[in-house]
Amino acid sequence: ILNVEQSPQSLHVQEGDSTNFTCSFPSSNFYALHWYRWETAKSPEALFVMTLNGDEKKKGRISATLNTKEGYSYLYIKGSQPEDSATYLCAFLENTGNQFYFGTGTSLTVIP
């Protein structure tokens, strides 16, 4: 069983603030890292799939970076809006390409 950690566990920010959170994973045996957005009472939805060291992905106000050598990925949200409120999950895929290991998520609340 691999250890994937996300921090912080929860976060409250004011509307308009920018924020970021971290996903840490084993630096060896890396294959891919996925980010998902999970709203209450819904199912997780994909944000990014990252496979190469130094990858940077962007979708609107949300972006992510990847450092496979040191075993972390950052997710950034610029100018947070109330609709960004959700739990953000990362999932590490080890080098057999078979099993995903999910972090426990960062719960973001954006206060209007």
Partner 1 sequence: DADVTQTPRNRITKTGKRIMLECSQTKGHDRMYWYRQDPGLGLRLIYYSFDVKDINKGEISDGYSVSRQAQAKFSLSLESAIPNQTALYFCATGRDYTDTQYFGPGTRLTVL
Distance, CA of 1 to CA of 47 (rounded, Å):
24
User: Per-residue x/- mask for partner 1, residues 33 to 52, rule CB under 8 A?
Assistant: -x-x-----xxxxx--x-x-
Q: How far is the CB of 49 from partner 1 (least distance, A)?
A: 6
Shorter beta-carbon distance to partner 1: residue 3 or 18? 3
Interface with partner 1 (CB under 8 A), residue from 22, 31, 55, 57: 31
Concatenated DSSP letters of 19-60: EEEEEE--SSSEEEEEEEEE-TTS--EEEEEE-STT-EEEET
Token look-up 């840490």 returns 24
Q: How far is the CB of 91 from partner 1 (least distance, A)?
A: 8
Distance, CA of 97 to CA of 112 (rounded, Å):
41
User: Binders of partner 1 among 78-97, rule CB under 8 A?
Assistant: 89, 91, 93, 97
Shorter beta-carbon distance to partner 1: residue 64 or 89? 89
